[in-house]
Structures are given as structure tokens and as C-alpha cells.
Chain A
Amino acid sequence: RKEVEQDPGPFNVPEGATVAFNCTYSNSASQSFFWYRQDCRKEPKLLMSVYSSGNEDGRFTAQLNRASQYISLLIRDSKLSDSATYLCVVKQGSGGSNYKLTFGKGTLLTVNP
């Protein structure tokens, strides 16, 4: 099982649609979880952290299920500007030799007019 695995995509959705991305991780000792967004030919940027109780930021909702080692990102009312690659990121450790931040391969989302 890969350390961080995401839906392969690509996802093509119309404006206004709701779309969900899933991500699974293999290391049960993983401590923190994040979603990053990467526009075409640009650098990744943090979209949101994922908290144990689930969290929402506007149209975006992130959820974590530690028992199933699974996180998700839900985007409601999709906008054209949401078109990007979404990267699932998992962190183990906090410093020194045990630190590790692992990125998933990303899921490409295209929102169509």
C-alpha cells in the first residue's frame, strides 16, 4: 500500500457541482493532515489543515477518519477558479530524523462552464 494514495482523477464537473476527493494513508502513526492546491505550472499552496473533528472553510470541508486512515475534501458550489490539482499531505514526526511530510500524487479537478 502506498504511503499516501489519492483518487486518480481527473474530475471534470460543471460549475455549481459538488465534488469530493478522497485520500488514504498507510502509516497509523501519522499525526497531521493537510490539503494543498496546485495550479497548473505553479507552486503548491496550503488550502487547509484537516482536524480530527472535521473543519470547514467556506465552500470547502475537510474530514479525517483515523480508524480507516482516510481523509476527504468536499467542494460545494464549484467555481471555475477551483480548477487545479489537489494534493493530500500527511505528516509524521516533528523534527530531526523522524520528520516526514508525504505528498500524494494529486487529483486534477477541472470545473467547466
Chain B
Amino acid sequence: DADVTQTPRNRITKTGKRIMLECSQTKGHDRMYWYRQDPGLGLQLIYYSFDVKDINKGEISDGYSVSRQAQAKFSLSLESAIPNQTALYFCATSDIGQGVSGELFFGEGSRLTVL
């Protein structure tokens, strides 16, 4: 089983619908992240959380919200999806020591299409 699990893996929805992407991890890491990746663009950070009570906006947080329900769970919500939110979304985790190593562990991605 994957250490970082994302659900759903693929989702097609319509404009205006509320969507939640869920992420759970078994690595025991404190830090969790949500990124989106668009063709020809780098990974862009949406939100990150360094522990259960810590939530930080990333570069492109508008239109998104997150919830850190537990150390192992970090969900991303699109309250009212729009077509330009069509992208591949990745959840990632890192150890508190990531400040030195820089290693992120990614989930397999959630492909979202908004029609």
C-alpha cells in the first residue's frame, strides 16, 4: 500500500460543484502539502500544514480551502469548481527534518476535470 494515499484518483465534475480531495498518510510525518500541476507548468503550492493546528496559504490558494483533520489526514476542497481548476493535484508529506533534507513524499495524484 502507498504511504501517501489520495482519493479520488480521477474525478470529472461540473462547474459550480463542491469537490473534496482527500489525502492520508502512514509515514507519521507532521508536514503535509497540496500542490497542483498543469501541463507545461511547475508544481504550484496551494496550501501547507506543519502540524494539526497550523495551516498556511501557498502561492495559489484562491478558490481552495483545506482541513487538517488529524496528523495523518489533509483534505483539499474546491467550494465551487471552475474549469481553470482542471489539473493534476498532488498531496505530499515531509518529516520535520525536511528543513534540511528537502524530501517530499508525494501521493499518486488526483486528476480533476471541471467541465
Tell me the A residues contacting B by CB distance below 8 Å: 4, 32, 34, 41-46, 49, 87, 89, 91, 94-97, 99, 101-106
Contact = CB atoms under 8 A, between A and B. Distances in A.
Nearest to B4: A43
B12 interface: no
A46 B48 CA distance: 19
B50 A96 contact: yes
Interface stretch (B37-45, B63-71, B73-81): B37-45
Given A34-B102, A97-B56, A99-B50, 7 more contacts: A32-B100, A42-B109, A46-B102, A46-B103, A101-B102, A103-B42, A103-B44
Nearest to A33: B102
Nearest to A90: B102
B104 A46 contact: yes
Given A97-B56, A101-B45, A43 B99 contact: no
Contacts of A95: 50, 99
B102 A105 contact: no
- State the main secondary structure of chain A at its contact with B: strand
B102 A106 contact: no
Contact of B41 (A41, A43, A91, A105): A105
A32 B94 CA distance: 15
Contact of A43 (B45, B50, B107): B107
Interface residues of B, number: 20
Contacts of A87: 42-43
B54 to A, nearest CB: 8
Interface in B4-29: none
A34 B100 CA distance: 11
B108 A43 contact: yes
B84 interface: no
Interface in B79-110: 90, 99-104, 106-109
A105 B42 contact: yes
A103 B50 CA distance: 19
Contacts of B90: 43-44
A97 B99 CA distance: 13
Nearest to A45: B106
Contacts of B107: 43
